[in-house]
Amino acid sequence: MPLRELNSALHALTAGSNDTEFKVINPRGSHAVAVGVDAPVSVQIKGSVGYYCAGMNDGGAITVHGSAGPGVAENMMSGTVIIEGDASQYAGATGRGGLLVIKGNAASRCGISMKGIDIVVHGSIGHMSAFMGQSGHLVVLGDAGDALGDSLYEAKLFVRGTVKSLGSDCIEKEMRAEHLAKLSEILQRAGITGVRPEEFKRYGSARKLYNFNIDNAEAY
């Protein structure tokens, strides 16, 4: 079945449709599989996919039984995307809502410019992750690469392992009760057991870059 027919069939679904289970076999690394889903449908993808899988997902539950190429779940609005393998660069970029779970590792720029999405990575993430993240949560059970949270706004980052380096204006912050509660809720939603929220450190914005500083008034 050509990709366009699959995606058109998914787009044609309306609330109350009887077709709620889709299975994609042998995607063979194809690009743009199940992009633009806007109905509460389940899509099971049996194999690895290329660029932009599950992009703009709004309400679908999409699982990739394999690895995903660059830009998986880019600009997700709501719903769930699960990657059983690894994800390439900029997974969950610009996402506004929903939950992205990556069971392997994610490469560089994971959650870049995130705006409300929750991302859970079982493994480790690459450099420049959560760059300019505005809101939402990035939870990493493994390690983070260089320049985590560079130029961060208000996205909250939780890392259980080591952080190679923090980006500009990103700092470690105190883990308060409300953060532990939120992290616990996200871990539960992602189906993760045997990992305690207390094992994580929280990182966030120092709020020096994006707030106006009166000392810089002369520069304008």
Contact set with other proteins (CB under 8 A):
28-30, 48, 50-51, 67, 69-70, 86, 88-89, 107-108, 126-127
74 vs 86, which CB is nearer to other proteins?
86
Query: Which residue's entry shows tokens 């889903």?
Result: 37
Q: What are the residues whose beta carbons fall under 8 Å from the beta carbon of 220, sequence distance 6 or more?
A: none
Is the Cβ of residue 86 or residue 118 nearer to other proteins in the bound state? Answer: 86
- C-beta closer to other proteins: residue 67 or 205: 67
Nearer to other proteins, 29 or 36 (CB): 29
How many Å apart are CA 200 and CA 186, to the nearest integer? 13
Residue 158 in tokens? 């939780």
Q: Residue 209 and residue 203: Cα distance in Å, rounded?
A: 15
Q: How far is the CB of 125 from other proteins (least distance, A)?
A: 12
Least distance from other proteins to the Cβ atom of residue 108, Å:
6
First and final C-alpha spacing in the chain: 58
Alpha helices in 60-172 (DSSP H): none
Residue 160 CB, nearest distance to other proteins (Å)? 20
Q: CA triplet 139, 143, 149: central angle to 5 degrees?
A: 60
Which of 37/147 has CB closer to other proteins?
147
Pairing of strands 201-205, 156-159: antiparallel
Gap between the Cα atoms of 157 and 135, Å rounded = 10
Q: Rounded to the nearest whole angstrom, what is the least distance from the CB of residue 30 to other proteins in the complex? A: 7
User: How far apart (Å, rounded) are the C-alpha atoms in residues 138 and 93?
Assistant: 11
| 59 vs 104, beta carbon nearer other proteins | 104
Min separation Cβ 41 and other proteins, Å: 25
User: Could you tell me the smallest distance in angstroms from the CB atom of residue 25 to other proteins?
Assistant: 13
